[in-house]
Structures are given as structure tokens and as C-alpha cells.
Chain A
């Protein structure tokens, strides 16, 4: 409970800013319409893009069979490992190299394309598992009523999967709203970009907080939508029998097309950037054009990620086990509050964390004369990571705990173990897999994280992500390549773990 309050406290700062300084935003009124228009375009474009691409691909691999299908099924998840700003780096570099002036990447449309390409797996994954869990009966019933296979899929299977598909779209939209690197590099003036400008350009905290609040309210709406649709999706999954459809076998050119199309997509989003980054990395090493302090930022990244793993997974365990042990409605509430941070963009979390910490810092300094202990060091950054990624770790740990029957807790207690002993001797050995997944997820997310790191990093505390962003912003694509390559390679680990996990389930 206390842990939950600590995590949630910074978030109260957001709406409070409107009370504290009602007119702060009026100085930047010019920013607002631009940000609103750009954000709306982004939401609309990415929404439609991921919806069509994700659902289409999911339907292709669920309802049709062709050589290489089972392989393709998982290859399509790989773009999850590609952070938007790394793909942007590739796209910018490639456009420059081609000299293709018709290819205007630096535009809202370019941003929509980038987000659609790297975020469609959210929709794809959820839609696919919904299709697979439907069972063949309903589509067969529709065909018995005279619908062709294609029409049965469009009129029965897709509407049935609607909650899952919308849930995926909501996740993709949340990610694109939270993104800073891509929109900043492409010069698209969305809310996150505006927050950064107001913060670093004008040092106006209240205005930044208020922009953050606006962004959060959009995100919360999406989050509510996602919860709503997922709640129903789970219901549908429980009642459905798990037998998958018998997919229609494609032959000849159709089969080749079904494999080649998606493969080209994965090649564009994953293979081509990886190859390009590798070439640039080699060049940059050969030419001695490594990022300044490359070693330092790599070390910073690893240390920050390592510390966050301990902190965040530990907090998630305390929270999940605490809720299991007490089973009180208050505990449930605490969890909900503590895990809300995942819906929030990193930049918003950063500005929300810095206000109470800054206040606390000055009090501490007054008392003990220790200087700015919290905001000037990694403590502030770690706090932001905790707020941002606690939900991610919590979901994994909690799902692991849920699979442990409660009678095991009671059996152990009856055998003389107190609560802590039960955790150590029964739960931890049984959920080690889930803990590892949580650790992996947090580790790579922290490696990738850009906006909060940018706002809160202490002096000399650049990370790989910051290095990528800085070098790309200065069009030093080759310099940016090596850190970007490392981020992507590390990011492939949890995707591989995810694939292994789902394969075992399926």
C-alpha cells in the first residue's frame, strides 16, 4: 500500500498544476493548436494504419496456410524490438543516401508511417490470439448459412475479435502518444515535443505540467478503452473452446505472395535497418567516428537498466504478493493506482516526478546541506523509471503468482511457514520464469527509454538512447548506428522470450 502511494504521488502533481498557476499555459498558446492538430493526425493515422495492417496480417496467418506460415507467424512480431527513433534513424539515413526528395520522411505522414510499421505487432498479436481462440464453429456456421469463406471471416471472425483488435490499437496509440524520439527527430509538433520545448526552451515547469495533464487525459481515455475491450476479450476467450480453425491451404502464386508480402515488410522494418546499422557501425569504428563517450553511455545504460530491474521487479513483487496475501479491496485499489504509470508518456512522468522531488530536495538541502540529492542524481531517474515501468513488471509477476494455486499457500502455512517463508520457499521458485520475463522487459524498456532520460539525466549521464537521439538530430547517422544497434539487439531478447512463451502456450 505504501509502495503504491509512493509511486502514485507524483501523478497528483499533474492536475494540481492547473490550480497552482492557472495561466501558465497562456504564454505558449501558440503551441497548443499545433500540438492538438499534429496529435490528432497522428492518432488517426496510426489508428487506421495499425488496425488495417495488424488485423490483415493476423487474419492471413490465422485463416490461411502456406509454406513458411508458422515461421512467418513469429517473424511478424519482431518489429516490437525496433524502437521508433531507431527506425527513424534508418529511414532518415536511407532517404538521405537515396537522395529521394519525393520521400518526405520529415512530416506528419512520415511519422504515421514509422509508427504504423513498428507498432502494428500490438494489434497483430492480440487479433491473432483472438482469432485462434474463436474456434471453428462460428465461421463454419456462417458458411453453412451461405457465406463464402472470405465473407465469413469479415462478417463473423473479425467482429468477434473486435475487443482484442481495439485493445491492440489502443496500445499502439498509447505508445505513439508517449513517443518523443520519433516525433522530435521528424519535427512533428505533438504534445511530447511541446513539453520538451517548454521544459528546456523556456524552463516553465507549470506550463510543461499542464501540457502533460492534457496528454495524460488523452492517454487515460485510451487506457480506459483498452481495459474495457480487454475485459470483454478475456470473457470471450474463456468460453470459447481452444481448437483453432482449420486454415485454408493456399497454393502456387497466391502462397508465394502470402509469404513474400509480409516477409518484405519484416525485411523493411527489421532486417534492412539491422543491416544498415551494422554497416554504419563498422564504418564508424573504422573511421574513429564513434559517439563521444560511447563507452560511458553504454555503461550508464547497463547500470541504469540493472538498477531499475532490481528496483522495479522488487516493487512489483511486493505489490503483487501483498495483494495476494491480503485480498482486500484497498489492496486492489492500491495496485490500480500504482500501475497507472505505464499508460503515461515518459516525458509526463519525468516532469511529474521532478516537482515533488525538487521540493523534497530543497528541504533536504536546507536541513542537511547535501546539495540536490534527488533531482541531480540518478535517484530521480530511477524513480521515473519505477513509475513508468512498474505496471509492466507487475503484470508479469502477478500473472505468474496467479498460476500458483492458493491452496499451496495454505498448505505451506499449515506446515509451519510464515508469509515470508512461503514466498521464499514456494512462490519464488515457482515464479522464477515470470520474474525473469519481468526483469527482461524492464531491462530493455529502460535501455530504449528516451524522453524521461533526456529530461532527468544527471550531468554526464547520457545513455545509449540519448546518444542515438543526439547523433541522429545532428544527422550523424553513422555515429548513431552502434548504440542503436546495441539497443535493438538487447530489445530482441524479450521478443524472443515472448515468442518462446506463446509457442509453449499454443
Chain B
């Protein structure tokens, strides 16, 4: 067992930052905690690292209780590797000394060997005598990661690790960081407000809101089967339709849709923008009111004849113009999800 968080609560004054969170990480698993700013995700991270003490609940790392009733282990004893938002590299030490910082207690040869192998893991062996201010943003991040990984921690905690990089670098580095973590076989918990980042990087996603976990699961499951309306809207774009459910289907203004799970009565269902398609030259039922060209795809905003505004995402192969009359319908494989 990598990490076990049981019923952890933390309040700052009157604000409940973390309100009863349960979370488990298996060894070698990468989990992303995704939530808007102020949802308590960073506090959760700091509780695991030991920079905050929980008001209630317990935390175990690698099978050992580190925080809980009558139990407290200070951060330096926990074997956590933390990658900070600003990287927090020691400016007075060069790359090698930064990476070796957490190995001070080890015998000399082991220290040299671990430092060298970690530097090679992140591909910075040629920069080992540079100082942090001489490195690019991406290199700094890799040093921060190497420094966290070198002491072979029970878990690596990453606090918004990509937020201080510019957008073009971000996607490439995301992949690089994932590969480094996988190579090292590290258990990692990543905190982010960027859904794309969380979806791409994590084995499992934990969506957090106001101090509580709304849904925990593999990214594709959280995306395709959101547990509620808020989660559906936070993880990607979504149309929420109203309809009457009967057995395994629901009747909406877009016709009868298949349901993921049987339901009865008046329900809201979530339909992703890519689950809809547009046809020209058919009996039109909607009008294009806005078009957002995004390169590889296009996001259309339609006014449906029943009055609802719909968003539809299509490949940019065939373009519709604002004002075009179109026929909108679900793709054939479409399965709708009841969101409340």
C-alpha cells in the first residue's frame, strides 16, 4: 500500500479546507487531485507531506501511520518527496548538490551513486554543475523532480508542477515527467486545476470540491460517467439536457437517448460536445450562433429550436458558418449519463 488517507479533516479558523477525505494510492500509481483553486487540494497535499497536522482522521505512508489520533511524524521523517509549484530549488547550491540534499545521511558512495543515477534518469547529468538561475524552466522542474526522487521516497507529491511553464512547453514536459515517474516506479500524487493535465497524466483522478472528493476513478471513467452535474462540467465541456427517463432510455429534445444505467422520471443528462454531430442540407433543427476555431477541432454554439443552447465539437474538416441552419443529432454510439 502506497498511501492511505482515512477521513482526514482540516480547518483553518472557520473555513473547512479539507472535510473528510478518503483516498488510497497503490504502489507505483499516479493519482491526480483535480479541483478549482481554493478547493483544499493543496492542503490535502500538505497534510500528507506533514506541513499541516490533520484535525481528524489518519494518514499512512508505505503501511506506516504518520498522522492520526495520538500519532505525529514530522515531515523530515516521512520519506515524502515534494515538487513545489515554484520548484523551491536551493539557489546557493548547484544541480548536483540540490539533488544530493536529501541524501546527507547516506554513506558517501551510495550518495554519489544515487545522485548520479537520478541525474541520468532526468537527463541532466551534463548540467550537474549549473546553478538553478542558469537553467531553463523545464530544466528546473526536472531538477526539482530529481531532488524529490533521489532519496527513494514512499511517495512523490507534486503541487501544480506545470503552472509556471508556458503553454507550449507544458504538454511536452507533462509527458516527460510522467515517463520519469514511471521509470522510477514512483507512487505520485499530483495536485492541479488543469483538467487536461490531470486527464493525460494520471492513472486515477480524484475530483475535489470544497474540501470533499466528488469522484475518484480512472480518467476515462470520470470523463464518460461523471458522478454529478458539477463534476461533468468541471471535467471537460458538457451539455446538460432535461428529459423523461424510462427503463434504459431518456426522451429529450434530441430524441430518445440510451442511458448508461436505467432510470425513471424527470432527469438531467450529460452529453459531451463530441457526442453530437451536425448535418447540412437536412431538415434543420438548429442555427449556428457562434464558432470557435481551435485548429484541430471546432467548437460550435447552436440555438436549438426547442430553445436550448448546445455546444458541439467537430473535427475541422468541414466548416459551418455562423447563421447556417443545421440538423443536430447524437452520434450513433451515444450513451447519456444521468447527472442528478
Q: Give the interface of A toward B (CB within 8 A).
A: 405, 407-408, 410-418, 421, 425-426, 429-430
Q: What residue in chain A is nearest B93 (Cβ atoms)? A: A429
Q: Which of B49, B92, B101, B157 contacts A412 (CB 8 A)?
A: B101
**B74→A415 contact, CB < 8 A:** no
**Residues of B with C-beta under 8 A to A410:** 49, 51, 75, 82, 84, 88
- Of the A-B pairs whose beta carbons lie under 8 Å apart in the complex, a sample of 19, sorted by A's number, is A405-B88, A407-B84, A408-B90, A410-B82, A412-B90, A413-B50, A414-B49, A414-B75, A414-B76, A414-B80, A414-B157, A415-B76, A416-B104, A416-B105, A416-B151, A417-B104, A418-B76, A421-B104, A426-B90
Contact B86 A407 (CB under 8 A): yes
Residues of chain B with a CB closer than 8 A to A421's CB:
76, 104
Interface residues in B150-165 by Cβ distance below 8 A to A read 151, 157
B40 proximal to A (CB < 8 A): no
Chain B residue nearest in CB terms to A422: B76
Q: Which of B51, B85, B86, B151 contacts A415, CB < 8 Å?
A: B151
* CB of A80 to closest CB in B, whole Å: 31
CA A421 to CA B102, docked complex, whole Å: 11
The answer, yes or no, to whether B147 is at the interface (CB within 8 Å) is yes
Residue in contact with A405 in the complex, picked from B74, B86, B105, B151, CB distance below 8 Å: B86
Q: How many A-B residue pairs have CB under 8 A?
A: 66
With A415-B102, A426-B90 known, 13 other A-B pairs at CB within 8 A are A410-B75, A411-B82, A411-B88, A414-B76, A414-B82, A415-B81, A415-B151, A416-B77, A416-B79, A416-B104, A416-B105, A417-B76, A421-B76
**What is the interface of chain B mostly: helix, strand, loop, or mixed?**
loop
B189 to chain A, nearest CB (A): 13
Does B91 sit within 8 A of A, measured CB to CB?
yes
CA distance A357 to B112 in the complex (A): 55
Q: How large is the interface on B (under 10, 10 to 19, 20 to 34, 35 or more residues)?
A: 20 to 34
The answer to whether A414 touches B92 (Cβ under 8 A) is: no
Cα–Cα, bound, A430→B74 (Å): 24
Most chain B CB within 10 A, of A408, A411, A414, A421, is at: A414
CB pair A414 B74 closer than 8 Å: no
Give the distance to chain A from B227, nearest Cβ to Cβ, in Å: 33
| B92 cross-chain contacts in A, Cβ below 8 A | 429-430
CB distance from A426 to the nearest CB of B (A): 6
Chain A residues contacting B91 (CB-CB under 8 Å) are 430
A415 contacts across to B, CB distance below 8 A: 76, 81, 101-102, 147-148, 151
The distance from the CB of A56 to the nearest CB of chain B, in whole angstroms, is 41
Report chain B residues within 8 Å CB of A416.
76-77, 79, 102, 104-105, 151
Contact residues in A for B79 (Cβ distance below 8 Å): 416
Smallest CB separation, B285 vs chain A (Å): 55
Q: Classify the secondary structure of A's interface with B.
A: helix
> Nearest chain-B residue to A414 (Cβ)?
B82
Query: Please, how many angstroms separate the alpha-carbon atoms of A408 and B51 in the complex?
Result: 12
The distance from the CB of A402 to the nearest CB of chain B, in whole angstroms, is 15
* CB neighbours of A418 from chain B (8 A): 74, 76
Q: B88 and A413: CB pair below 8 A?
A: no
A407, B88: Cβ atoms under 8 Å? yes
Docked pose: A410 CA to B102 CA in angstroms: 12
The 7 A-B pairs with the shortest beta carbon distances in the complex, nearest first, are A415-B102, A407-B88, A411-B88, A414-B82, A413-B75, A407-B84, A429-B92
Q: Mark B62-73, 1 if CB is under 8 A from A, else 0.
A: 000000000000
For B147, what are the chain A residues with a Cβ–Cβ distance below 8 Å?
Answer: 411, 415
Q: How far is the CA of A411 from the CA of B102 in the complex (A)?
A: 9
CA distance A249 to B88 in the complex (A): 45
- Tell me how far the C-beta of A195 lies from the nearest C-beta in chain B, rounded to whole angstroms: 47
Compute how far the CA of A314 lies from the CA of B92 in the bound complex, rounded to whole angstroms: 22
Complex Cα distance A498/B72, Å? 45
What sequence of 0s and 1s flags, for each residue 264-305 of chain B, a beta carbon within 8 Å of any chain A beta carbon?
000000000000000000000000000000000000000000
Nearest B-chain residue to A428, judged by Cβ: B92
Residue of A nearest to B100 (CB): A415
Q: Which residues of A contact B84 (CB under 8 A)?
A: 407, 410-411
**Chain B residues, Cβ within 8 Å of A426:** 90
A105 to B102, CA, bound (A): 65
Q: How many angstroms between the C-alpha atoms of A405 and B132 in the bound complex?
A: 15
Q: Which residue of A lies closest to B92 (CB)?
A: A429
A405 vs B89: C-alpha distance when bound (angstroms): 10
**Which residues in window 84-118 of B have CB below 8 A to A?**
84-86, 88-92, 101-102, 104-105
CA distance A405 to B164 in the complex (A): 16
Shortest distance in angstroms between B140's beta carbon and chain A's nearest beta carbon?
A: 13
How far, in Å, is B90 (CB) from chain A's closest CB? 6
Q: Is the CB of A408 within 8 A of B88?
A: yes
Contact with A along B113-152 (1 / 0, CB 8 A): 0000000000000000000000000000000000110010
Alpha-carbon gap, A415 to B77, bound state (A)? 9
How distant is the Cα of A410 from the Cα of B85 in the complex, in angstroms? Answer: 12
- A407-B88, A426-B90, A430-B92 known; A413-B76 Cβ under 8 A: yes
- CB-CB under 8 A from B148, the residues of chain A are 414-415
Which residues of chain A come closer than 8 Å to B77, judged between CB atoms? 416
A411, A413, A418, A430 — most chain B CB neighbours (10 Å): A411
A66 → chain B closest CB, angstroms:
37
User: How far is A421 from B151 in the complex, measured between Cα atoms in Å?
Assistant: 17
**Which residue on chain A has the smallest CB distance to residue B147?**
A415
Q: How far is the CB of A62 from chain B (nearest CB, A)?
A: 32
The CA of A412 and the CA of B49, in the complex, are separated in Å by 12
Residue of B74, B85, B101 with most chain A CB atoms under a 10 A cut-off? B101
Which chain B residues lie closer than 8 Å to A407 at the CB level?
84-86, 88
B50 / chain A contacts, CB cutoff of 8 Å:
413-414
B280-338 contacts to A (CB < 8 Å): none
A292 to B172, CA, bound (A): 77
A409 CB, min distance to chain B CBs, angstroms: 9
Say how far B76's CB is from chain A's closest CB, in angstroms: 5
Bound form: Cα–Cα A414–B80 in Å: 6
- For the complex, give the distance between the alpha carbons of A408 and B104 in Å: 17
CA distance A430 to B90 in the complex (A): 9
Minimal beta-carbon separation of A130 from chain B (angstroms): 30
